[in-house]
Structure 1
Amino acid sequence: MSDMPLARAANDTHHMENVYGGERPAMTLASLEHFLADVRFDANAVTDLGNVLSAITLRGLDRLPLPGQGATLMRWRMLAAVAARDLGLVKLYEGHTDALAILAELRGPVAPRRSRWGTWAAEPPDARVVATASGTGMLRLHGTKAWCSGAQVVSHALVTAWQDDAPVLAAVDLQQPSISISADNWRAVGMHATASGDVCFEGASATQVGGAHDYVTRPGFWQGGAGIAACWYGAACGIANVLREAVIRRADPYALAHLGAVDVALAGAAAVLRETATFIDAHPEGNAMHVALRARLAVENAACVVMTHAGRALGAGPLCRDARLARLMADLPVFLRQSHAERDLAALGKTCIDDPGPAWLL
């Protein structure tokens, strides 16, 4: 990437098409499901995940409806469909589609055709990226960004950085000699294939996206956060479907009871996700923190219920001999830790006090 910034889209009502390279979003869930049913790949290899992501972008199946534009639930259904197929794949797919949504919301540069994006916003205390201005709209990045999912297979990334102690967002072409990638610290078993390593920037050129603080203050921050719950939900459904098929083959009272508990958990989570999507579409510029936290925590709880009952009902056999189920059961607990557990519960409780509203009334 040269010192010239990535091409910026016009400041008009067609920015959604512009950020997708001039094409409208593909809103056909059936097309994505058909692709997922047919595609074959090694789910343990990040290169295979990258190839599948490339195939998805080539077919336009990454052009999801943008959050808050009237079809948020369809966006989440597509995320859930990919998650039910493979969590490593959806980790890359969600990061890519989230980046496209952020570029649209903050009127960032146009994503080059067939580009594959990561969204890297982790801010551990021992890994920080510093940005310095290097021209109009341009930045130079120095430092290490940790937890970079798919770093070895994406072509571009949105990276949070710090400029004069203020948080900024940068769009980076990763094909630069001043950028190096290492997965040496990634020792995970669950989500292993995402190869979420460290990316070191040594004066890499980047384009600033939005202004200082815009990444976290934009409405889409919490809208996107709720979308993560759709990924968790899809994976839980994938596990539940294995349980249901097993019960169909051999139904005993205990297995039926486990399946009933799973149905209750998933139905409740689905209802919360639908309600959250409706709220976001009705209040596209509003603060969705309350409903997003509630959705994430409701789905996290449901996913834990599903894993517990599925494990107890199925026993060790499928966990040892069904590679897809074993991978889902290993991946999902790691992915769920993107939730901050009791910290998120406390934050949700505070919103119940600050703005109680009629949320609990029928």
Structure 2
Amino acid sequence: MDLVHYLARRPPDYPDAAALGHCLRALVEAGLDRLPLPGSGLTLARLQRLAEVGGHDLGLCKLYEGHTDALAIIEQLGGTPTPGSTWGMWAAEPPQARVKVSSNGHMVELNGRKAWCSGAAVLSHALLTAWDADGQQQLVAVALDQPGVTVTEQGWAAVGMAATGSVEVLFDGAEGQAIGSPGDYLQRPGFWQGGVGIAACWYGATRQIAESLRQHCAQREEPHALAHLGAVDSALQAAADVLRFSALHIDAHPEDNAQLLARRARAVVEQTAEQVIREVGRALGAGPYCKDRHFARLIADLPVFLRQSHAERDLAALGSLIAGQSSEVWSL
């Protein structure tokens, strides 16, 4: 069974992290987490699968994207994940929550606090960023069911995306395995390629929210609703075109720095998502917010997931990249 049909058979209603963890484990057991690697020639298929999960449930998508991203990173950097394992990809680095790593033979030791650890209570493993004695960032794979790992209930009071349980985790002498060399996480081509994957998750949820308006307009002719649908369609089409182009470009240039590509894709999809949320709400009123549980969950979760973007800071970074380009940067 493929991913689309599998998700179609599951009600998109996951009340907590335990339910999300159960579904993720089932996807792993069914082999539905084995996505093509970015730059493999099938990047669009990878983005399509992420979008499908995003349209089903964004909490599940958060865990699924993190798991599949971790698998891709481990493979790209020469590691081998434990069969049947479920992974978090924890790379947030707030200044008050940084993990230190020290060598301990062929393994490493972890100490410190890690924030924004989605699914921490229900995953078997995590791939996380930590800092060595020389101030360099090192990726570390760690089993979560060992002494020295404490999953707290701190740092998460969310309503949107609540089920992901993105809490803080404490490491006290926990054992892990270094993946790659210091600095590899940010320096590898896959870092920005993975950033396009996040945009595909946003797109999947946005498309599903828009579907409520499309179905509404298919049943009755309301000029204002149709005008909103036209605006939604043009925005979604632009976002889809950008994601398709991004996938083709990554496959054609798998070793290139994809920062400009990813920043553009994320900006376009974020703006599309915000426009679709506005247009659909104005067209349909309170009804789906209050009577359609799937719609209500997506509309609550998506604005939180979108804040994985850093808004004007990301736009300023994009502008800085564009300012250094020639006038040909916008040529058809």
Superposed pair shares fold, TM > 0.5: yes
1:238 aligns with 2:208: yes
Q: How does 1:129-144 map to 2 (within 5 A)?
A: 129-136=99-106, 138-144=107-113
Question: Residue 118 of structure 1: which of 74, 82, 88 is its match?
Answer: 88
Which residue of the partner structure matches residue 291 of structure 1?
261
Q: Which amino acid aligns with 2:111?
A: H
Identical aligned residues as a percent: 56
Cα shift at 1:301: 0.3
Cα shift at 1:182: 1.4
Which residue of the partner structure matches residue 270 of structure 1?
240
Q: How does 1:1-362 map to 2 (within 5 A)?
A: 31-40=2-11, 42-108=13-79, 110-136=80-106, 138-164=107-133, 165-356=135-326, 358-362=328-332
Cα shift at 1:354: 2.3
> CA RMSD of the aligned region, Å?
1.1
| CA distance in structure 1 between the aligned counterparts of 2:254 and 2:155, rounded to whole angstroms | 39
| CA distance in structure 1 between the aligned counterparts of 2:54 and 2:295, rounded to whole angstroms | 12
| CA distance in structure 2 between the aligned counterparts of 1:299 and 1:250, rounded to whole angstroms | 29
The worse-fitting range, judged by mean Cα deviation, of 120-129 and 239-248 is 239-248
- TM value normalised by structure 2: 0.98
Q: Which amino acid aligns with 1:156?
A: H
Cα shift at 1:41: 5.9
Please give the secondary structure, in 2, of the residue aligned with 1:359. Answer: helix
Cα shift at 1:125: 1.0
State whether residues 130 and 142 of structure 1, in contact with CA within 8 Å, keep that contact through their aligned partners in structure 2: yes
Which residue of the partner structure matches residue 7 of structure 1?
none
Cα shift at 1:321: 1.3
State whether residues 41 and 48 of structure 1, in contact with CA within 8 Å, keep that contact through their aligned partners in structure 2: no
Structure 1 stretches lacking a partner, 5+ long:
1-29
C-alpha offsets along residues 244-297 of structure 1, whole Å, 9 cap, x if unaligned? 111222220000001110000000001111111111111111000000000000
C-alpha offsets along residues 93-117 of structure 1, whole Å, 9 cap, x if unaligned? 0000000000011112x11121000
Q: How many residues are paired up?
A: 331
Please give the secondary structure, in 2, of the residue aligned with 1:285. Answer: coil
Q: Which amino acid aligns with 1:202?
A: D
| CA distance in structure 1 between the aligned counterparts of 2:184 and 2:227, rounded to whole angstroms | 48
Cα shift at 1:357: 6.6
Q: 1:187 to 1:63 in 2, by over 3 A?
A: same
| CA distance in structure 1 between the aligned counterparts of 2:99 and 2:272, rounded to whole angstroms | 36
Cα shift at 1:242: 1.1
C-alpha offsets along residues 275-331 of structure 1, whole Å, 9 cap, x if unaligned? 111111111110000000000000000000100001111101210111111111110
C-alpha offsets along residues 217-264 of structure 1, whole Å, 9 cap, x if unaligned? 000000001110000000000101111111222220000001110000
State whether residues 293 and 348 of structure 1, in contact with CA within 8 Å, keep that contact through their aligned partners in structure 2: yes
Which residue of the partner structure matches residue 25 of structure 1?
none
Q: Which amino acid aligns with 1:183?
A: E
Cα shift at 1:75: 0.1
Where has structure 1 moved over 6 Å in runs of 4 or more? none
State whether residues 132 and 141 of structure 1, in contact with CA within 8 Å, keep that contact through their aligned partners in structure 2: yes
